[in-house]
């Protein structure tokens, strides 16, 4: 089985797939009389379809055994989906460009630096949230509302890839 190369997550590399939510080198504006600074709109919440609304949830993810087989991806055609970790621990995201079809040849894997969250743009294919280094809790910001907002594609055995962080 092919092993997917995992690269460091950067805003530039992730741009086709969504936003990296991090302080990084972003600019801030002062607020609260200079006692705070705001790094504005690092992630843009996308909402389509009837009665669409954004919700803030928490997601607690167990530590995954490694190596991990990527045998499925999913996408949310009606909204973005952000995961921002509450712990300073890296995790791994697997993505492929939006579009009707997806093959594992198109997959890219990124390792966060422990101070980064991600926001998948609507329709971007992604693997399950992969937390190989620790159990982690995430803030999730995504869409609620009417309509079918989750599609999955399974890869046949010959198309599956391995993640070995």
Contacts to a copy of itself by CB under 8 A: 19, 21-23, 28, 31-33, 35-45, 47, 53-62, 64, 82, 84, 86, 117, 119, 128-129, 137, 139-141, 144
What is the rounded (10 degree) CA torsion for 141, 85, 9, 149? -30
- Sign of the C-alpha dihedral computed for residues 38, 42, 46 and 52 taken in this order: negative
Quick one: which H or E segment has residue 13?
helix 11-14
Give the shortest CB-40-to-a copy of itself separation in angstroms: 5
Rank residues 82 and 124 by Cβ distance to a copy of itself and give the closer one.
82
Rank residues 4 and 82 by Cβ distance to a copy of itself and give the closer one.
82
Contact 142, 48 (CB under 8 A): no
Give the shortest CB-98-to-a copy of itself separation in angstroms: 19
Give the shortest CB-53-to-a copy of itself separation in angstroms: 6
3-state secondary structure of 106: helix
Q: How many other CB atoms are there within 10 angstroms of residue 82's CB atom?
A: 22
- In whole angstroms, what is the distance from residue 161 CA to residue 49 CA? 33
Give the shortest CB-158-to-a copy of itself separation in angstroms: 21
Rank residues 111 and 143 by Cβ distance to a copy of itself and give the closer one.
143
Rank residues 6 and 136 by Cβ distance to a copy of itself and give the closer one.
136
């Amino acid at each position: 089985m092919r092993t997917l190369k995992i690269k460091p997550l950067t805003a530039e590399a992730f741009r086709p797939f969504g936003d990296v939510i991090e302080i990084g080198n972003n600019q801030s504006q002062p607020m609260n009389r200079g006692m705070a600074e705001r790094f504005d709109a690092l992630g843009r919440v996308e909402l389509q379809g009837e009665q669409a609304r954004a919700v803030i949830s928490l997601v607690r993810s167990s530590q995954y055994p490694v190596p991990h087989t990527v045998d499925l991806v999913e996408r949310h055609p009606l909204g973005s989906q952000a995961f921002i970790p509450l712990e300073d621990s890296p995790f791994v995201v697997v993505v492929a460009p939006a579009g009707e079809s997806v093959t594992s040849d198109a997959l890219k894997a990124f390792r966060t630096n422990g101070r980064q969250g991600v926001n998948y743009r609507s329709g971007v294919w992604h693997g399950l949230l992969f937390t190989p280094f620790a159990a982690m809790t995430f803030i999730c910001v995504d869409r609620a509302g009417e309509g079918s907002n989750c599609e999955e594609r399974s890869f046949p055995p010959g198309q599956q890839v391995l993640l070995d962080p």
